[in-house]
Structure 1
Amino acid sequence: MDSADVYGGPQSPDMARGYGTSEEIIGRWLQKSGHRDDIVLATKLYQPMGTGPNDQRLSAYHIRRACEDSLRRLRTDHIDVYQMHHVDRATPVEEIWQAMEQLIASGKISYVGSSNFAGWDVTNSHLTGRARGGLGLVSEQSIYNLTNRAIEQELIPALEHFGIGLIPWSPLAAGVLAGRPAAGEDTVRRSQQSPEFERLSAPLAEYEALCSDLGHSPAAVAQAWLLHRPVVSTLIAGARTVSQLEAAVATLDITLDDATLVELNRIWPGPGTAPQSYAW
């Protein structure tokens, strides 16, 4: 179960009202359900939670305060995976790890993950954490889907080398890989994604035909493809309804054969691995 301290707010540093709503919802569910130990609880920090200089980024001061605030909203005494929402190149990586180590030592977090890091950011952070005697990073969240495979060049090779799990976000490319809505169906999504549907009309037509032949929805195939990638540990489904959540869970039972994977790679080709992709 994944969240972030900033989720639920207006995503603006001068409008803090509403920040933390997502964590509060999860916290209420955890308290009522009694299933805290049955899930892996993850959240993130970095984004502005106020207008002050210490209300954002990854200083040791902000990390400590942000963790305490998240624990309060989540109504728990520990976070399983505490993730840096973005890389902070203005804060020494040693300072970041010192703060994370203190949280681990106090039992407030168990593991450290990253999100939206480049390959060299993951390498730098992970090796620094290991050199200080810790595990380093255990996961990286990044945008990754059939239409956006840029991280295959350098980030995924780095993750595979170090044994760090990948957690893709936007697995459906903001709804594009759910297929083109029929007339009158989900008009909000159709209007929001119409430029992308137009730009990707040719591969989408082939993709939807393939999914029809497979007997699965385009959304299910897109998520199943990610789960077939060895580096992927899980994914951020981003369901808005119960039916979407149930469909995402059902994706776990879908097996794509080698011929299907080859065809998906033809329709949605990746960039290849660096430096072979551009220098060989």
Structure 2
Amino acid sequence: MKYAHLGRSGLRVGRVALGTMNFGDATDEAESFRIMDAAVHAGVNLFDTADVYGGPQTPDMEQGFGVSEEIIGRWLAQGGGRRDKIVLATKLYQPMGPGPNDKYLSAYKIRRAAEASLGRLGTDHIDLYQMHHIDRSTPWEEIWQATEQLVREGKVTYMGSSNFAGWQIATAQNAATARHFMGLVSEQSLYNLTARTIELEVIPALRYYGMGLMPWSPLGGGLLGGVLQKIEGGRRTSPHMQQTVEKYRPQLEAYEKLCADIGEQPANVALAWLLHNPVLSATIVGPRTVDQLTRNLGALDVTLGEDTLAKLDEIWPGPGGEAPEAYAW
């Protein structure tokens, strides 16, 4: 495993992080345990989850709330130094019940959400506590006051964000600086070869404030994992995926041909393309099986040359650079 600092912090995390959204949903507990054991064995140390992971992310479901955290908690309870081997990250924001204060980022919700996650995880601290989305109705003075209290109590070590715009990151960091608080150390964003909008303003903001990028959906929901090869091999796909494949078919054909020409698997090329970005601390993969995790880790051994990077830009063009030059001068 290769490691990098999580943004400007002194914390070092594996360049491939384990996403656990499938735990309790697409992946049962036994296989989830095997995946976590295999991840630790391979040197993966950042485990990423959220209070809503493990089933349909809706507050009116009969089961599924907090299942991913609970599975991780039962895995940690097996002992063997498991808790000390991982950087444990979870999130809050989304509805965890039908009440008016069961969602978003009020101080009331932050306190309750943290205590509930600690209980499900069976631990006394969260290493990286991430806001799953921006809360436009709660002032930063309230958010930071609540999270500072969790840090003072030793229940949270670092704070991160997810799905924030560049200006929202700037607002959050400036408010934290005024309070002499470290603020955010990382941002989870949608980022892959097919979705490059964050290159306009989010990535420049992360670079300026010393925050580490952690892309989610690095394979574009499977689109960049050799989908044409799999369809030709008889793999069935959902109607939505079929429509997406047809939309991007010319690009996918060029992409998978390029991967074949350089002798690398499409998924590993997509992950390696992300990993070459200096702002990125770790890319989050969400394997459903141990075999998928093992294949994803192969991206760490892939080095993309300048010619290959240029060809990837031709196939999957970004927004034209950073703002404002991308659209002005």
Written as runs of structure 1 = structure 2, the 5 A alignment for 1:86-235 is 86-179=133-226, 180=228, 181-183=230-232, 185-187=234-236, 189=237, 191-235=239-283
8 Å contact kept, 1:54–1:61: yes
Give the secondary-structure state (helix, strand or coil) at the position aligned to 1:200.
helix
Q: Deviations over 1:116-162 (max 9, x none)?
A: 00001111111111221111100000100000100000111000111
Give 1:62's aligned residue. Answer: 109
Query: Which amino acid in the other structure matches residue 218 of structure 1?
Result: P
> Which residue matches 2:311?
263
Residue matched to 2:71? 25
Whole-Å Cα distance in 2 between the matches of residues 211 and 275 of structure 1?
Answer: 33
Q: What does the per-residue CA deviation read over 1:35-87, in whole Å, with 9 as the maximum and x for residues that have no partner?
A: 21111110000000000111110000110010000001111111110000000
Instruction: Give, in whole Å, the separation in 2 of the partners of 1:215 and 1:19.
Output: 42
For 2:48 and 2:234, locate their aligned partners in 1 and report how far apart those are by CA, in whole Å: 29
Q: What CA distance in whole angstroms lies between the structure 2 residues aligned with 1:107 and 1:95?
A: 19
Q: Secondary structure at the match of 2:272?
A: helix
Structure 1 residues 219-228 or 8-17, which shifts more?
8-17
Which residue in the other structure is 2:89 paired with? 42
Query: 2:232, 2:260 → 1: CA distance?
Result: 19
Q: Deviations over 1:146-192 (max 9, x none)?
A: 001000001110001111000000001111001222345431x3544
Rounded Cα–Cα distance in structure 1 between residues aligned with 2:152 and 2:186? 19
The AA in structure 2 aligned to 1:7 is: Y
Aligned twin of 1:85: 132
Flag structure 2 segments of 5+ consecutive residues without an equivalent: 1-46
Deviates further, 94-103 or 6-15: 6-15
Deviations 1:211-239 (A, max 9, x none): 00111111110011001111111111111
Q: Distance in 1 between matches of 2:56 and 2:238?
A: 23
Distance 2:175 2:225 in 1: 40
Structure 1 range deviating more: 153-162 or 191-200? 191-200
Moved more, 256-265 or 107-116: 256-265
Q: What is the deviation of 1:16?
A: 5.6
In 1, Cα distance between equivalents of 2:101 and 2:55: 18
Asked whether 1:8 is paired with 2:8, we answer no
Structure 1 vs Structure 2 CA RMSD = 1.2
CA distance in 2, matches of 1:190, 1:258: 35
Which of structures 1 and 2 has the larger relative contact order (alpha carbons within 8 angstroms, sep 6+)? 2
TM-score norm. by structure 2 comes to: 0.82
Task: Output the amino acid matched with 1:4.
Answer: A
Q: How many residues align?
A: 279
Give the distance between the partners of 1:16 and 1:229, measured in 2 at CA: 41
With 8-17 and 210-219 compared, the bigger mean Cα shift is at 8-17
Name the SS of the counterpart of 2:224 in structure 1. helix
The SS at the match of 1:18 is: coil
Structure 1 residue 240: Cα displacement: 1.2
Partner deviation per Cα, 1:93-131 (whole Å, 9 max, x = no partner): 110000000000000000000000000111111111122
CA spacing shift, 1:2–1:250, aligned 2, 3 Å: same
Instruction: Say whether the 8 Å CA contact 1:10–1:16 is kept in structure 2.
Output: no
What is the distance in 2 between the residues matched to 1:236 and 1:60?
28
Per-residue deviation, residues 253-273 of structure 1 (Å, max 9, x unmatched): 111111111111111111121
State TM-score, norm by structure 1.
Answer: 0.96
Gaps of 5+ in 1: none
